[in-house]
Amino acid sequence: MIILKPQIIGKNNMITGFYAGLLGLMLVVLILRVALRRRKYKVGLGDGGIADLGQAIRVHGNFVETAPVMLILLLLLESSHSQALILHSCGLSIVLSRLLHAYGITSSPLASNGRKYGVLLTFIVIIVSSILLISKYLSNIIT
């Protein structure tokens, strides 16, 4: 059983750094998937009309289109002294959303549960994080 110690924001815990590290490792895997397929099919640019390569490129592309925004939101939540539980919930959801989405696209070029739930979780994380940040800002200027 894993026991998380209570964390105090501002004590150099860098919760966001932990999730950024996990996502960084995921990105390396996605980059390698594209590079290996480029080598296999001898395609230097684009997808060469090869569905397998195009799929790997889109998995990588979607990751780099969404993960940075979610990490920025997480970092802003952390810098605004959000509770560790909120930060870990968002961080875990970010990682899970990217895993589900990557698996969903990789397993089938058509709609799949992994892709559907990955996108849904991505939207939830972005919306919840954004609302939390807006409410923190408004509560500071109103009071």
Q: From CA 71, how far away is CA 60, in angstroms rounded?
A: 16
Range in 10-14, 87-91, 113-117, 122-126 with the lowest mean pLDDT: 10-14
27-44 pLDDT, tens digit each: 999 999 999 999 999 999
Does residue 9 have a pLDDT over 70?
no
Does residue 132 have a pLDDT over 70?
yes
97-106 pLDDT, tens digit each: 999 999 998 8
In a 13 Å sphere around the CA of 135, the CA atoms on its Cβ side amount to 8
- Which residues, 6+ apart, have CB-to-CB distance to 77 below 8 Å? 86, 87, 90, 129, 132, 133
Domains and CATH numbers, the chain: 15-142 (1.20.120.550)
Q: What is the pTM of this model?
A: 0.86
Structure tokens at 49: 């009309």
Average pLDDT, the chain: 91
Q: From CA 90, how far away is CA 132, in angstroms rounded?
A: 11
